[in-house]
Amino acid sequence: DVKVTQSSRYLVKRTGEKVFLECVQDMDHENMFWYRQDPGLGLRLIYFSYDVKMKEKGDIPEGYSVSREKKERFSLILESASTNQTSMYLCASSFESSYNEQFFGPGTRLTVL
Amino acid sequence: RKEVEQDPGPFNVPEGATVAFNCTYSNSASQSFFWYRQDCRKEPKLLMSVYSSGNEDGRFTAQLNRASQYISLLIRDSKLSDSATYLCVVVNNAGNMLTFGGGTRLMVKP
């Protein structure tokens, strides 16, 4: 059974803080993705990665960066958190090609005060 | 115009009813489509793929209309457990990104 885990379910940070969101998958998937989900806007892709040390910008990369040092781990970094980054963050992974099913983690609800 | 648009609902239907949702997409070159399901406060999970010839899985039927650029999901004999948000998903031309619709919320009542 595929498992995607995220480091925290709930996180509260202050404006200007550096925030790390961690995601780990146990199925040896090549692809990993970070989305944010907001009411009325749906899921929006922030960054994705096809391989270790590789990253590609999604639709809304501004204010975020990512790191993929190991195949199973994909980190999302908010260099200086802002209130408009308050959201639900979802990590996903899949085998090669987006034509394959994406498996999502449980999400991290981040609140920036 | 959004790339992928859905009626947010909610669609309130009684148990046993048949309900259908549509989803429109803007890129006529899109080739692959999916429906995902998301329960309240849970992560999205793949419900079914949408093939050009249509796709049926039990009570669920997905259809693609390329001429009008929409996909549909039909649920027959609705169950209480079908209550969820249904997300329409379109794969981009390069096949490397998914674009999600905002979701349609379904509430099945006893």
Residue A106: its chain B contacts at CB < 8 A?
42-43
- B-chain CB neighbours of A99 within 8 Å are 32, 91, 95
In one letter, which amino acid is A113? L
B8 touches chain A (CB under 8 A): yes
- Residue in A with minimal Cα distance to B95: A98
Whether the per-residue pLDDT at B95 is higher than 80: the answer is no
Whose CA is closest to B15, among B59, B55, B58, B49? B59
pLDDT in tens, A86-99: 999 999 999 876 56
Give the pLDDT score at B2: 74
| CB–CB contact A56 B96 (8 Å) | yes
Report the distance separating Cα A112 and Cα B16, nearest Å: 43
Helix or strand run (H / E) with residue A79: none
State whether B96 and A107 contact (CB < 8 Å): no
- CB-count exposure of residue A54 (10 Å: 0-12, 13-18, 19+): exposed
A74-83 pLDDT per residue, tens: 999 999 999 9
What's residue A97's pLDDT?
Answer: 67
Say which of B8, B43, B95 has its CB closest to residue A104.
Answer: B43
- Does A5 lie at the interface with B, CB-CB under 8 angstroms? no
Give the distance, in angstroms, between the CA of residue A65 and the centroid of all CA atoms in the same chain. 10
pLDDT of residue A15: 97
Chain B touched by A56 (CB under 8 Å) = yes
Answer whether A1 touches B (CB < 8 Å). no
Nearest to A102 among B92, B98, B103 (CB): B98
**The most confident of A48-52, A100-104, B24-28, B81-85, by mean pLDDT:** B81-85
A57 interface with B at CB cutoff 8 Å? no
Contact B6, B23 (CB under 8 A): yes
pLDDT level of residue A2 (50, 70, 90 thresholds): low
Enclosing H/E stretch for B32: none
Measured between CB atoms, which of A56, A98, A104 is closest to B44?
A: A104
